[in-house]
Structure 1
Amino acid sequence: MSQDARESVAIVLPVHNRKDVTINFLRRLQDVPINGCEKQIIVVDDGSSDGTAEAIEDQFPSVTILKGDGNLWWTGAVNTGIQNALKKKVDYVLIMNDDVDFEMDFANVLINGSKAESACIMGATTLYAERNRKVIWKAGMRETAALHPRFENVFQNQEWTLALPELIEVDSVSGRAMLVPAGIFEKVGLFEQRRFPHGGADLEFCLRAKRNGIHVCVSTRSLIYSEPGKSKDLFVFLNTASRWQFVKSCLDLRYSWHLRTSFHIATCYRDFVPGMVGFLWHLSAILKWLLLKTLLPHRLLAYFLSKRSRVGLV
């Protein structure tokens, strides 16, 4: 690249059937300044039936829209967008979800942080949107060293302050706002679509990158805002779902505790024994909460759920 050439960043956004959320997100995203970079937005609409693609074409003519048939899921949609971005020879790919809010400087902070750390994968810090925007949901994830290894959210439920270190190295960052220098895809490949069609692909990608000598970091100055929701927080879901709904959710790709996905997460980059221990621990936790939901009165169950810290089970 010549000294006069500008770098470029492609923002890849997978969407499906939430037109108003997507349109409002794009309105804010268009105003995000990225210093010294050409910004491209690539939306991958995986078979929406609510007019999402048409609304984007009408209101955001500069946005690239790629269409799926409804079977891409998150990982397939993201890979489709990344492949399009790489054909355009971009320098960075910023993967996002449309259900987050953000500080206007979040992208600049990610790019500057990635450069400072020798082109590492860089993730934003997610704060709870409904807790005065000062409480951390996650600043990446780290694997515990316990007998039953699992991945836990960094700084979860801590108050965000400027006293936090600006950059921290982690094992994984969230696909809600993940910046990847384009050259990393050439080295480690795309997201793993076969084993992780919807959940867990961001975690596996980061673990694979680390095994190839690439650093994975979180900036505590790049801030986004979101809420776990019922498909991401087991304990929120347990409080409202019936027993049968809970059992079905364990076999539904949309839920973060989906059993097959959890098995692949537990075993993908661990030796067999600790991997199986991690998965069996996850399975025992699922069975424990199913038993408690069966035996305990709802109020007592709700009390225990309210006291349970929101951490990953695997």
Structure 2
Amino acid sequence: MIYIVIPVFNRKHFTKACLLSLRKQTNQNYKAIVVDDGSTDGTADMLREEFPEVDVLFGDGNLFWTASVNEGIKHALKLGAELVMTLNNDVETAPDFIENAYKWAKVKPEAVIGALEMDAETREPIYGGEIIDFKLNKVRHMLQELPKEQQHGIHRVSQLPGRGLLIPRVVFDRIGLFDQNNFPHYVADYDFTHTAARAGFELYCNFDAKLYTYPEESGERKNRKKKSIKNFYNHLFDIKGGGNLRDFTRFTLKNCPKPYIPYYLANGYARRIFGYIIH
């Protein structure tokens, strides 16, 4: 069974749509675990009344993404989980999502496997995994490199986000949980996958497992749309800031090969500061 951990804070309409999409799966061999970190919009009541099959854990509003996910993972592991998946609540799953997750997990039982992300509005693919080159400070996007006819099956990558991330138990046994101390909200997923890769686990993006996402709903997208001094500060320093300099620095020092750290940091700082202003 795949234990699916979904951290939530308000936005119950997204949580409901996500869980309803899971109910439509061709393979129902999964268990959903929702970690509600202090929602005030009736999320808890909705889950209790409409989704009694879901395990619900509660936080006090201070867990943020990483600690919420870790609480859900610990619960899953206590229940005997051999496969855990992290999933954001603002996504919907294609009907064969779980079926195709199992398909490739059987082929690569100790690999960490991500999902193909599709725009929920256009139904066009928008993310298929990345390969990072620390030396050149470049990120190669698999969707841009793979011909259309090859955009199926699994493809090797070097980092993955936490949306639809399938993780075998053996990975947690070897490297532990997500690093909530250094990365309380953003970057923890990329850090985790880099840590897993250094420990010898392969990373793949599963182009057959499709998620439908709403990119315009991300806090960082909204932050950039309404530019102001306050939002610029939040972008660089807030715990939910997409360009958080502290998180980026910690990620670099932990994951970038030492010879490339100075250039990678300088380039990254410039992109986060000036990129917000220009774009």
Give the alignment's TM-score, normalised by structure 2: 0.91
Question: Corresponding residue for 1:68?
Answer: 59
Assess if the C-alpha contact under 8 Å between 2:236 and 2:273 holds in 1. Answer: no
Return the index of the structure with the highest Cα Rg: 1
Work out the CA distance in 1 between the residues paired with 2:275 and 2:171: 40
Structure 2: 5+ residue stretches without partners? none
In the TM superposition, what is the alpha-carbon distance from 1:289 to its structure 2 partner?
A: 3.9
Residues 246-265 of structure 1 mapped to structure 2, 5 A cutoff: 246-265=232-251
Residues 160-201 of structure 1 deviation map (CA, whole Å, 9 limit, x = unaligned): 844325211111222111111122211111111111110111
In the TM superposition, what is the alpha-carbon distance from 1:230 to its structure 2 partner?
A: 6.5
In the TM superposition, what is the alpha-carbon distance from 1:150 to its structure 2 partner?
A: 4.5
In the TM superposition, what is the alpha-carbon distance from 1:151 to its structure 2 partner?
A: 4.0
Residues 40-55 of structure 1 mapped to structure 2, 5 A cutoff: 40-55=31-46
Which of 138, 147, 156 is the aligned partner of 2:127? 138
In the TM superposition, what is the alpha-carbon distance from 1:242 to its structure 2 partner?
A: 1.8
In the TM superposition, what is the alpha-carbon distance from 1:248 to its structure 2 partner?
A: 2.7
Residues 61-120 of structure 1 deviation map (CA, whole Å, 9 limit, x = unaligned): 111110001111101000000000001112211110111122111122122212212421
CA RMSD, 1 decimal: 2.3
Q: Does 1:275 align with 2:264?
A: no
Q: 1:287 to 1:254 in 2, by over 3 A?
A: closer
Question: Corresponding residue for 1:154?
Answer: 142
Work out the CA distance in 1 between the residues paired with 2:83 and 2:34: 16
When the two structures are aligned, how many residues end up with a matched partner?
279
Q: 1:230 to 1:153 in 2, by over 3 A?
A: farther
Residues 120-153 of structure 1 deviation map (CA, whole Å, 9 limit, x = unaligned): 11111112233x312x322112112543x25454
Give the alignment's TM-score, normalised by structure 1: 0.81
AA matched with 2:142: V
Structure 1: 5+ residue stretches without partners? 1-7, 294-300, 306-314
Assess if the C-alpha contact under 8 Å between 2:131 and 2:159 holds in 1. Answer: yes
Work out the CA distance in 2 between the residues paired with 1:145 and 1:264: 15
Q: What is the identity percentage for the equivalent residue pairs of Structure 1 and Structure 2?
A: 29
Tell me which of the two structures has the higher relative contact order, counting C-alpha pairs closer than 8 angstroms and 6 or more residues apart: 2
Q: 1:227 to 1:87 in 2, by over 3 A?
A: same
Residues 62-211 of structure 1 mapped to structure 2, 5 A cutoff: 62-130=53-121, 132-134=122-124, 136-144=125-133, 146-147=135-136, 149-156=137-144, 161-211=148-198
